Amino acid sequence: MRIITYNVNGIRAAVKKGFIDWLKTNPADIICLQEIKAHEGDVPKAEIETAGYEVYSYSAQKKGYSGVAILTRVRPNNIYKGNGVMQSDAEGRVIRADFGDLTIVNAYFPSGTSGEDRQTYKYQWLAEFFEYIQVLRAERPNLVICGDYNICHKAIDIHDPVRNKNSTGFLPEEREWMGKLFENGFVDTFRHFNQEPHQYTWWSQFAGARANNKGWRIDYINTTESMAAHLKYAIILPDVRHSDHCPVFLELSN
């Protein structure tokens, strides 16, 4: 099974930049999208279906904000929208799909960039989400957690760790949360295969950041350790350009 996570920064904007043509190249079996910024009726499902994918989306109540979707060539056994936490669900941040004994959770973590209140909410959301996946793992041990985490875990994951030490997305409390995730039985699948620096998934749209590869690695596909033997290949795809993020790819063996 081939899985991609991709923050598209607006699904309709991505379509205008060739997203459907990219889908037609069959880049993965399951594609988890974040920040679709579209209500249910505005998601271009017909166009996506022409590329061979079923579409399951979960939108924020606020128009043009947040939202997640799962595009899949493999029919899921179950789809669950939300994680049962009121504010997170109002913002359309979590969607889950079960495929046999495999469960994929697609999540768009809050960014915290718009002020102190949102940073406080980010910490609240992280605590709630951690509890959610711990409970879920007890029932569904083969978990894949995809998404835009809006957190760089280590200094290797950000182009300028010194200047950004006080920036949301690289704050000590956020990085500690990532450490706790990995210490509690989850695998950073990209770092499982690649320990090289300068591997990023998001770039500012200012000052030529992408052209100069001054980025942040904030998008992840993480799995439970029970799936480690099935990790076949993982890579970041910086040349795919429908967004200020790029896709992250994971292949699992049977």
d(CA 190, CA 205): 24
Strands 2-7 and 30-34: parallel
148 catalytic per annotation: yes
Residues 6+ apart with CB under 8 A from 43: 11, 36, 55, 57, 59, 69
Q: What does the DSSP assignment read for 16-29?
A: HTTHHHHHTT---S
Copy the structure tokens of residue 78.
């179950």
d(CA 158, CA 208): 16
Copy the structure tokens of residue 31.
């594609």
Copy the structure tokens of residue 115.
């002020």
Q: What does the DSSP assignment read for 139-161?
A: H--EEEEEEE-----SGGGBS-T
Q: Which listed residue (21, 89, 98, 148) is catalytic?
A: 148
- Phi and psi for 95 in degrees, rounded to 5? -140, 140
CA nearest 160: which of 206, 214, 218?
A: 214
CA nearest 240: which of 1, 4, 22?
A: 22
Q: What are the residue numbers of the active site?
A: 148
